[in-house]
Chains A and B, each alone.
Chain A
Amino acid sequence: MLRLLEIEYNKLRYSRSARILIITYFILITFIALIASIEFNIGTIEFRVADQGIFNFPYIWHFNSYIAAILKLFLAIVIVSMMSNEYSNRTIKQNLIDGLSKKEFILSKFLTVLVFSGISTIFLFIVSLILGYSFSDFTEFSIVFSDLEYLLAYFIKLTGFFAFCMFLGILVKRSAFALGFLIVWFIFEGILYAVLNFKVFKGTDIATNIMQFFPLESMSNLVVEPFSRLNAVQTAATQIGGELTKDYGIHWYQLLIVIVWTIIFIYSSLVLLRKRDL
Chain B
Amino acid sequence: METILSLNNLTKRFGKVTAVDNLSFSIEKGNVYGILGPNGSGKSTTLGMVLNVVNKTSGDFKWFNGKLSTHEALKKVGAIIEHPNFYPYMTAEQNLALVCKIKGTNRDKIHEKLEIVGLLDRKDSKFKTFSLGMKQRLAIASALLNDPEILILDEPTNGLDPQGIHQIREIIRKIAAGGTTILLASHLLDEVEKVCSHVVIIRKGVKLYSGPVDEIINSHGFFELKASDMQRLEELLKDHPKIGKITDKEGLLTAFLDDPMDAEEINRYLFEKGLSLSYLIKRRESLEEQFLQLTNQTSSN
Contacts and interface: CB of A to CB of B under 8 A. Distances in A.
Do these two chains really belong together in a complex? yes
A101 B102 CA distance: 10
Contacts of B101: 3, 6-7, 10
Contacts of B104: 3, 99
Contacts of A16: 89
Contact of B87 (A6, A11, A97, A104): A11
Interface of A: 3, 6-7, 10-11, 14-16, 89-91, 93-102, 104, 274-278
A119 B77 CA distance: 37
28 contacts: A10-B97, A10-B98, A10-B101, A11-B98, A14-B90, A14-B94, A89-B87, A90-B85, A91-B87, A94-B86, A95-B102, A96-B74, A97-B74, A97-B77, A98-B103, A99-B72, A99-B104, A100-B102, A101-B52, A101-B70, A101-B71, A274-B55, A275-B55, A276-B55, A277-B14, A277-B48, A277-B55, A278-B54
B17 interface: no
A276 B71 CA distance: 17
Given A89-B88, A91-B86, A98 B55 contact: no
B81 A99 contact: no
B53 A93 contact: yes
B137 interface: no
Given A7-B98, A7-B101, A7-B102, A96 B86 contact: no
A97 B94 contact: no
Interface size class of B (residues with CB under 8 A): 20 to 34
A15 B89 contact: yes
Nearest to A17: B89
Given A91-B87, A93-B85, A99-B72, 15 more contacts: A10-B97, A11-B87, A11-B98, A14-B94, A94-B85, A94-B86, A97-B51, A97-B53, A98-B99, A99-B71, A99-B77, A99-B102, A274-B55, A275-B55, A277-B53
A165 B222 CA distance: 66
Contacts of A274: 55
B113 interface: no
Nearest to A9: B101
A100 B78 CA distance: 13
A98 B74 contact: yes
B23 interface: no
Q: Nearest 3 CB-CB pairs, A to B?
A: A99-B75, A101-B71, A99-B74
A14 B102 contact: no
A6 B107 CA distance: 14
Contacts of B53: 93, 96-97, 277-278
Contacts of B48: 277-278
A104 B94 contact: no
Contacts of A91: 85-87
A278 B102 CA distance: 19
Contact of A14 (B69, B73, B89): B89
B87 A14 contact: yes
Interface in B114-146: 142
Contacts of A89: 85-88
B79 interface: yes
Contacts of A275: 55
A11 B89 CA distance: 9
A100 B72 CA distance: 8
Candidate in A6, A94, A275, A278 with the most chain B CB atoms within 10 angstroms = A94
Contacts of A11: 87, 98
Contacts of A7: 98, 101-102
A96 B52 contact: yes
A100 B86 contact: no
A7 to B, nearest CB: 5
Contact of A96 (B51, B73, B94, B103): B51
Contacts of A3: 101, 104
A99 B103 contact: yes
Nearest to B69: A101
Contact of B79 (A6, A97, A104, A276): A97
A89 B102 CA distance: 17
Contacts of B69: 101
